[in-house]
Amino acid sequence: MTALSVLSVAAEVFPLVKTGGLADVTGALPAALAAEGVIVRTLLPGYPAVMAAIKGGKVVLSLPSLFGGGARVLAATAHGLDLLVLDAPHLFDRPGNPYLGPDGRDWPDNPIRFAALARAAATIATTPALRPDIVHCHDWQSGLVPAYLHYTAAKAPPTVMTVHNLAFPGKAAPSLLATLGLPPHAYAIDGVEFHGTISLLKAGLQFADRITTVSPTYATEIQTRDAGMGFDGLLHHRAAALTGILNGIDTTIWNPATDPPPPPPLSATDRTGRPANKAALQRELGLSTDAPGPLFAVISRLTHQKGMDLLLEALPTLLRQGGQLAVLGTGEAWIESALRDAVSPGRIACVLGYDEALAHRIQAGADALLVPSRFEPCGLTQLCALRYGCVPVVARVGGLADTVIDANPAALAAGVATGIQFAPESASQLEAAIRRTAALYSDSTAWLALQANGTATDVSWRGPARQYAALYRSLLAARA
Ligand code: ADP
């Protein structure tokens, strides 16, 4: 197997900077791909946290005039990742969330900031000493890379564009076309134009050699008007170039055997630690330890996409089933406030914040994880839940449909069920799913089987990495 090199271009990479699942993917995939003979270098912006983590780095490229200031690309390693960091203080030396200013709104110059990331990537990709075999772009923030490479005269490597969430088109005003360094004819239906504006994501979807998204079901859904977010026509047109490859999770990070404090065992063969974990979690969150029903949990962005309004409607049913609820999340103000109002001592606890360690303790202690998303490209929390023996209760959409096997009579009889699915995404169907979950929970044989099947499921990056490696190799073979 000959080694091949990939330049991965991303705005978030765990553990350096993360707002969602995108960072988990870009942080974990390089190590998994190494086992497939693929060497990944990741280009990301030099936010303050990134600059602090790399402490220096070697200058491999100077960009004296990059969208209003001087910039450099620094090569460095951190957390086992081979990084190229775009040091452009005029664009990225801003603390906090990578996209939002202190007023909680998108930075007005976000199109320029991420055009700069894409311009740096395109320059790396066409510089002989740095040129990778493949450029792999992630979401709208790197969507301009395939466009820049399309419009260059230089020899450019093939590109892959991965959609982690189609809901973020990365819009820019049409008046920015020239500023972004795009030719006038790029503002067209077969260019970067998107319903009367510019979309950075559209640029990637239009010009990348291959498009992937993070589950087979989402790959099909996004070609439909309902889930296509305005890109369905283009994605349908490019269906031959579009594939769905499921995400995995980093099983060294999501490993119940190494979670602090010294963890009671949780594995496919040994779940004796679960009751102690559950009791500790209940005490930590002020929940009573004698509820008759399951302890449900939510670890999520608190948004309409994630179906959090459906959850609020279903709370009375959850309580009537003797259940409890633990929520960890941040998001839309009205949902946060409604959840705060719903807190009920002993029964419903809510932690409004972002807390990785608590997310682990919840997965280790809660009985069931609720994921009532309206759409879900892949979803990672249900994969973590499977690994921890926390039974996922999910809407039958996107990657949730692909990763959880519903406990219907046939699947239970065959011994393959791993969770509960419901459809369509409505409060009444969520309530029905909660009732089914409570019934299964009270049947300890059935419940233990669900947990055992879940913990035995391979949720690692091994399989997906093999698929990405095959995709890269087929792309190179097509170019040869
Ligand atoms: P999305 O990327 O749409 O937000 P995913 O399920 O793909 O959803 O990924 C979310 C990731 O972020 C998971 O790793 C999840 O555990 C984590 N996460 C979400 N909210 C929180 C939170 N409040 N605290 C800790 N981790 C969180």
Q: What is the mean pLDDT of residues 9-14?
A: 97
Tell me if residue 456 falls in helix, strand or coil. helix
**Is residue 409's pLDDT more than 80?**
yes
Instruction: Tell which atom from ligand 1 comes closest to the C-alpha of 329.
Output: 23
Q: In the structure, which protein residues have their CB atom closer than 6 angstroms to any atom of ligand 1? A: 20-21, 24, 299-301, 328-330, 354-356, 359, 378-381
Q: What is the whole-number distance in angstroms between the Cα of residue 93 and the centre of ligand 1?
A: 25
Q: What pLDDT was estimated at residue 433?
A: 98
| Residue of the CA atom closest to atom 24 of ligand 1 | 354
Side chain identity at residue 8, one-letter code: S
Instruction: Please provide the DSSP assignment of 92-141 as one string.
Output: H---SSSSB-TTSSBPTTHHHHHHHHHHHHHHHHTSTTT--SEEEEETGG
- Could you read off the pLDDT of 247-298 as tens digits, one per residue? 999 998 899 888 876 555 566 566 677 888 999 999 999 999 999 999 999 9
Average pLDDT over residues 186-204: 98
Give the CA angle between residues 393, 395, 400 to the nearest 5°: 85
**Minimum CA distance residue for ligand 1 atom 22:** 354
What average pLDDT does the segment 412-422 reach? 97
Nearest Cα to 150, choosing from 190, 114, 93, 194? 190
Q: How far is the CA of 415 from the centre of ligand 1 (A)?
A: 29
Q: Of ligand 1's atoms, which has the minimum distance to the CA of residue 356? A: 25
Q: Cα(175)–Cα(179) distance, rounded to whole angstroms?
A: 8
Q: How many angstroms does the Cα of residue 354 sit away from the middle of ligand 1?
A: 9
Choice from 13, 139, 380 to test ligand 1 binding pocket (greatest atom count within 8 A of CB): 380
How large is the greatest C-alpha to C-alpha distance in the chain, in angstroms?
69
238 closest CA partner among 215, 225, 219: 219
Spacing, Cα 164 to ligand 1 middle (Å): 13
What is the CA angle 424-426-431, rounded to 5? 105
Distance from residue 22's CA to the centre of ligand 1 (Å): 10
* Cα distance between residue 22 and residue 331, in whole Å: 17
Atom 4 in ligand 1: which residue has the minimum CA distance? 20
**pLDDT at 123 (0 to 100):** 98
Q: Locate the ligand 1 atom nearest the alpha carbon of residue 384 and give its number.
A: 16
Q: Are 453 and 417 in contact (CB under 8 A)?
A: yes
Query: Using an 8 Å Cβ cutoff, are 142 and 117 in contact?
Result: yes
How many residues does this entry show for the chain? 480
Residue 261 is predicted with a pLDDT of 66
- Token pair, residue 190, equals 């077969």
Residue 3's SS3 state is coil
Query: Which tokens hold the place of 96?
Result: 């906090």
Atom of ligand 1 nearest to the CA of 22: 2
Q: Encode pLDDT of 426-446 as tens digits.
A: 999 999 999 999 999 999 999
pLDDT-above-90 percentage for the chain: 92
The rounded Å distance from CA 368 to ligand 1 centre is: 16
Ligand 1 atom with least separation from CA of 328: 23
Which of 141, 381, 387, 390 to probe ligand 1 with, by most ligand atoms within 8 A of CB? 381
Rounded CA separation 132/8 (Å) = 10
Q: Which atom of ligand 1 is nearest to the CA of 24?
A: 14
CA nearest to 437, candidates 308, 323, 309, 279: 323
CA angle 305, 307, 311 (to 5 degrees): 160
Judge if the upstream peptide bond of residue 294 is cis by omega within 30 degrees of 0.
Answer: no
d(CA 446, CA 60) in angstroms, rounded, equals: 58
Give the strand order in the sheet containing 420-422: 348-352, 324-331, 295-302, 368-371, 391-395, 420-422
In whole angstroms, give the CA distance from residue 167 to residue 186.
22
Please report the beta strands in 10-57, taking only residues with DSSP state E, as ranges in sequence order. 38-45
Of the candidates 281, 305, 466, 463, the one whose C-alpha atom is nearest the C-alpha of residue 388 is 281
Domains of the chain, start order: 4-248+462-479 (3.40.50.2000), 274-456 (3.40.50.2000)
Q: Burial of 232 by CB count in 10 Å (0-12 exposed, 13-18 middle, 19+ buried)?
A: middle
Distance 471 CA to ligand 1 centre (A): 27
Instruction: Tell me which residue has its CA closest to atom 15 in ligand 1.
Output: 381
**Dist CA 381 CA 348 (whole Å):** 20
At 168 the pLDDT is 96
Closest C-alpha to ligand 1, atom 9: 21
Distance, first Cα to last Cα, the chain: 16
C-alpha span between 8 and 395 (Å, rounded): 31
Q: Which atom, in ligand 1's list, is nearest to the CA of 359?
A: 25
Q: How far apart are CA 207 and CA 200, in angstroms?
A: 11
Spatial separation of the C-alpha atoms in residues 423 and 373, rounded to whole Å: 11
Which amino acid residue places its CA nearest to atom 16 of ligand 1?
Answer: 381
Cα of 156 to ligand 1 centre, how many Å? 35
Peptide bond into 30 cis (omega under 30): no
Q: What is the DSSP string of 314-346?
A: HHHHHHHTT-EEEEEEEE-HHHHHHHHHH-BTB
Whether the per-residue pLDDT at 27 is higher than 80: the answer is: yes
What contacts 237, CB < 8 A, 6 or more positions away? none
Q: Which atom of ligand 1 sits closest to the CA of residue 353? A: 23
Among 429, 284, 444, 433, CA closest to 366? 284
CA 383 to centroid of ligand 1, rounded, Å = 11
Q: What is the mean pLDDT of residues 80-93?
A: 98
Protein residue with least CA distance to atom 20, ligand 1: 300
- Which pTM was predicted? 0.94
Looking at the predicted structure, is the pLDDT value of residue 37 above 90? yes
Contact predicate 371/419, CB 8 Å: no
Nearest to 149 by CA among 232, 226, 193, 209: 209
381 Cα nearest atom in ligand 1: 6
Report the separation in Å between the CA atom of 182 and the middle of ligand 1, taken as the mean of its atom positions: 35
For residue 45, the model assigns a pLDDT of: 98
